[in-house]
Amino acid sequence: MEFIQFRLANGIRVVHKQVKGTKVAHLGLFINAGSRDEEEHEKGLAHFIEHTIFKGTKKRKAFHILNRLDSVGGELEAYTTKEETVFYASFLKEHLNRAADLIADITFNSIFPAKEIEKEKDVIIDEIASYQDSPYDQIYDDFEEQIFGTHPLGSNILGTEKHLKKFTKEHITNFMTRLYAADEMVISSVGAFSEKRLKETLEKHFTVPIQQERSHQRKPFNGYQSSHTDILKDSYQSHYITGNIAYGSMDDKKNGMILLNNLIGGPAMNSILNMEVREKLGYTYNIESNYSIYSDGGLFSIYLGTDQQHLEKSVAVVNKALKKLKEKELSVRQLSQAKKQLIGQIALGRENNASLMLSYGKSMLVHDKISTLEEIIEKIESITSKEIFEISNEILTLDDFSHLAFINK
């Protein structure tokens, strides 16, 4: 069997893949709580918790937390998105006990010292400033704010300096009490150890009784209206992003949209936009499309950076390529090649055990199930040209597109 699943005594779901012959293992705790779950006065709090949770527990100081895995060559990491917070570790398999103990300790026993809270505010304010110095990073965040407006999905994950300065330990504990429930947590593991060993280790460390369900319900996003914004920026290039709302993770059309996005501007050098704008015309070094998938909606976007003199021409080429996808169905050959490419990319990704652990955890968190590679391939192979054509005509309608441009002064 590709993976095994079980549930801990305190209700946390676990998914594990036993991989023989590898010395390195990966373990992560996934929590279904992110920036979109913040109240108005909590903007940036989910990410702030990700930082301050490492600053001390009931039995460890910050140094001991950081040193616990580092001292044996392991790594402890974390990240926050709009819908989840993840704490994970990579380590030699003999240190499973150490990694599980550490992740459980920071999640359930952190004390959030006032001095460390204040210190970390300055760190994140510097992080915000560094993003603002990078137009490529900033334009994505600003575009989501433009698309989603005052809805929580529009809030920057990092928050604002105004909100950060007001955060206290009480804000942190209130957020965690409200959202860190057992039914919203998943532990994902990939390594060369048995189900029995993993279960015994996790039951030993994840013993804290926690609430089984959370009462917080996410606010759906409705009422999208296209908008267009140009901003003068003192930067080397002009940066441009355009897009439209798309399907959520539960929508049947999601898989077709993933395939279409990969075809338009995915990571491969032979994507439609890369070939048309970069390779044929040499207008840009970086052009890509992205499909951000949320639990109840999504966002399709296209980004490019170019000299100001090439911006208008680049946008015209992009629009022409999108229009073409709406006018004619993909040929049998085009669709077959697109499927083979996506299947190959997914298969290669699953060869990386760290990526596999993260993929399993997210899938379990969102869907409460994991699809095998064979099941994923079957879903991709079932996509028809007609479906792609229908999706193109729903999502790639330029009249519905919004855009944001950072224009080089």
Q: How far apart (Å, rounded) are the C-alpha atoms in residues 254 and 391?
A: 9
Q: What is the pLDDT of residues 27-85, one digit of tens each?
A: 999 999 999 999 999 999 999 999 999 999 999 999 999 999 999 999 999 999 999 99
pLDDT at 1 (0 to 100): 59
How do strand 297-306 and strand 402-408 relate by DSSP bridges? Answer: unpaired
Strand blocks (E) in 60-200:
75-80, 85-92, 185-191
Residue ranges of domains in the chain: 4-205, 228-408
Among candidate residues 239, 289, 283, 229, the one with its CA nearest the CA of residue 136: 239
Are the C-beta atoms of residues 241 and 301 closer than 8 Å to each other?
Answer: yes
Q: What is the pLDDT of residues 179-229, one digit of tens each?
A: 999 999 999 999 999 999 999 999 999 987 777 777 778 999 998 999 999
Residue 130 phi, psi dihedral angles, 5° rounding: -65, -35
pLDDT at 98 (0 to 100): 97
Give pLDDT < 70 ranges for the chain: 1
pLDDT at 189 (0 to 100): 98
- Supply the mean pLDDT for the chain: 95
Q: Do domains 4-205 and 228-408 have the same CATH topology?
A: yes
Q: Does domain 4-205 have CATH number 3.30.830.10?
A: yes
pLDDT at 213 (0 to 100): 74
Q: Which CATH superfamily is domain 228-408 in?
A: Metalloenzyme, LuxS/M16 peptidase-like (3.30.830.10)
Among candidate residues 222, 268, 227, the one with its CA nearest the CA of residue 248: 222
**What DSSP string describes 58-83?**
SS-BHHHHHHHHHTTT-EEEEEE-SS
